[in-house]
Structure 1
Amino acid sequence: MSYQAPPLAGFFVYRYLGWWDVILLCMRKLYLLLPILFLIYWGCEDSKEEETTPTEVTLWGVVYSVEDTDSLPNLPYSGLTGSIPSEIGNLTNLTELNLYGNQLTGSIPSEIGNLTNLTELNLYGNQLTGSIPPEIGNLTNLTYMNLGSNQLTGSIPSEIGSLTNLFAFVVGNNQLTGIIPDEICNQGDSSPHLENNQLCPPYPSCIEDYVGEQDTSDCPDSTPTEVTLWGVVYSIEDTDTLNLSNSGLTGSIPSEIGNLTNLTELWLSENQLTGSIPESICDLNINWSYYWSFNISNNQLCPPYPSCIEEYVGEQDTSNCGECDENSEVVLWGQNYS
């Protein structure tokens, strides 16, 4: 007759061994299972990777090998329609992507940023909409990028500054808006094509000569409302008289003075003003010939003087203006004095 331990025997064994010994025993058994669990997990990951990494991509009815495709020939001017498939981002060996001259619509997929081997990207002359994806900044090997003559909107992404190898950057004839980021000065094309958009001033100094025609009608009003002259702020709308004669003024006359378009009287005489008189002074609505409207005499202002006031500058100390013609004359209210 066999002996059977009472139901509580296991409890007494655990009690005899101690709870700590039981925990250690369980951990040893779990440790033996870890290699098996690891192999199961690894197999699942391999299976998942095989499922998510395609070997082929179908674009516009044509199958391309992911590994062997470095260009997509015969696609420019081929009547392509619809959007650019996001799957194009799987063709990571592409060095050229030329889809220009079609009727492609929709936005540029962000997956295009996966094509880091691209040296040429030409999407010119389609009907693409939406914004330029910031992921385009990943394409640091690009030397040529043409997104011109589409219907792109939004601003130029600052990531464009990462494209230091560009020698041609074309985004003209779109509907781009906003401020051009200063980072555009870091990209490689020193004279990019930005014309015929809605890009707003102020423009980065590096490309301000190349922005071309821009529709700025929807840009925030950049017209100044105040002017600072010699440390004092003047309202453009409210300032019609400026009497600073004998005020100890030094330095040159700021060109911003021309923004005071409501000014009808200006006195700057008896100071130590130097340098040349800015041409913008001629933008003021002043009767220059009338002594009680304008007096700038007895300074150290140097010729040549703006044509609007050259007969009314009065006496000037030009001894520090460099070499002067020995036959030079001083003009005092329309009279020449040698």
Structure 2
Amino acid sequence: MQPLHSPYKRQSKKLPIPVLGLGLVMLLNFASPTSSCTEQERSSLLKFLSELSQDGGLAVSWQDATDCCKWDGISCSQDRTVTDVSLASRSLQGHISPSLGNLTGLLRLNLSHNLLSGALPQELVSSSSIITIDVSFNRLKGDLNELPSSTPTRPLQVLNISSNRFTGEFPSSTWVAMKNLVALNASNNSFTGHIPTNFCANSPYFAVLELSYNQFSGSIPTGLGSCSMLRVFKAVHNNLNGNLPDELFNATSLECLSFSNNDLEGRFDGTPVVKLSNLVVLDLGGNSFNGTIPDSIGQLSRLQELHLDHNKMYGELPSTLGSCKYLTTIDLKGNNFSGNLEKVNFSTLPNLKTLDIYMNNFSGTIPESIYSCSNLTALRLSENNFHGQLSSGIGNLKYLSFLSLAGNSFTNITKALQILKGSRNLTTLLIGRNFMKEVIPQDENIDGFENLQILTIENCSLSGNIPLWLSKLPNLRLLDLSGNQLAGPIPGWINSLNHLFYLDISSNSLTGESPITLMEMPMVTAMHNETYLDPWFFELPVYSDPSLQYRVLTALPTGLNLSKNNFIGVIPPQIGAIPGELNSLNFLSAFDVSNNDLEGPIPTGPQFSTFPSSSFAGNPKVCSPMLLHRCNSAQASPTSISTNQYVNKAVFAIAFGVFF
């Protein structure tokens, strides 16, 4: 497994739910428990009910003989007109009946978070009364039909069709009739084509446009610059290309501008971004922007999140960045920024929670002003050119949970660990490829780290034994000490790490016999490790290689790697002959016991038939119908395991890749 610190393509961590847009148009609901709906409305609702294959218990409440204004999820006005159908999260299945369009006084329709399928009836979008439609988080599919250009003005203000399965070209003429539209959320679908240009020309109140996670292409329409009320424009994860048009920056009410993971380009310092003085979130990560961060960035006084990661930007960070005093997130990873961070006075950023500058060319030492950011929870400085010793000032970061310093030139690992043990909230510590050729501290006084779950100190050429203080980390889940020069035996206390499910101590100089206690660890004996029930999230994604991202601890594979050491003796029988019971592990997707000295037949069955013969290569005493060495009758059942008296550099490696 590669070091867990190298992010690749940034993934958005926000669900595209238009909270702001819905909040803009929340209206008072004047319901009267004494009102009674009309016969037409009752029959329209019952028609809707009849087309549901699963009604979530509505049939119990929706009785034909009762007043439908008293039905579950239904509200009426004082003149006996149905105004609200609110049936979110009811496990409804089936189609949405067009009969709901016959509710002539309906104002708000909320069918979100159900299992509804089929099309969205055009009768709802073209309704002469509905002002809010929310059908998000369903299984609706098909095209979103265009309304005829002759359609009179419709009252619709909020349309949320996000997280469905809609496809096809996104409508353009439909919005001509939507002169009251305030918020549109079509994210998490498969719409194609260009983004329409006429939203604001038709609706002067248009404020929220959310088109993320679709397949939109082409350039960003210049017409959106005329949206004087536009506050949120998000089109994350699409196929947009070209430059940011200058006209876009005329939409000076913008608070959130998010175009990450597209194919946009151009010089960032050539854009008039300073005109967006109300900007709170600026997210342009995962594109091909170049240039520097201009000094004018400091004029964005309301800015809270700055994401410019995975672009082609360069130069030093401007000192004016410290003027953005409300910043909570600075994400610049995966660029070519350079220089000394001392130029930025981080003490003027008291709200900063995440600083991620992974994979750049920054140099010098860590500025002391960073330790003034008392709310910092995630700090990633890995893959740069920092040097020096860790300052005791990091102890001021009482909320620090995620720290990655890997791939720099830091020194004095003993001092670093003595300082970091006081970080009581630290759960992830990645410090590999530093402290080259030092001695790993054996000091039993390194206590603390009681909440640490991930620890990697790989590829440092550290000498010494596996230290006792590791046994005092009660919540440790993943430990990587590979690529060092650790000597001595595997300590007997290893089985006290009850929560450990990944251990890599390969490529060291460990000696002695493999202890039986290693085979008593829960990660080896348990069929289902309790870690896989833990919903714990990383503060920042960690990566085992450029193509594998882990945001959730439960996604990491179970692994035990002891290869490339100097062990002697007999392989413990608990893992000796290949047991047939492994066939019952239907979640096992990778299995490799090659280049050992195993013997006996390879189990047959549906699971093992999926593994290539290379998984068993280098074991001359194993046999199988799939191998050249076939089993005879005397080998029909698994036998004992033997090893050479001394196996140089490798005895065994077990790797279980558990993926769902």
User: More strand by proportion, 1 or 2?
Assistant: 2
TM-score category of the 2 structures, normalised to the smaller one: 0.3 to 0.5
Higher radius of gyration, 1 or 2: 1
TM-score norm. by structure 2 comes to 0.24
TM-score norm. by structure 1 comes to 0.44
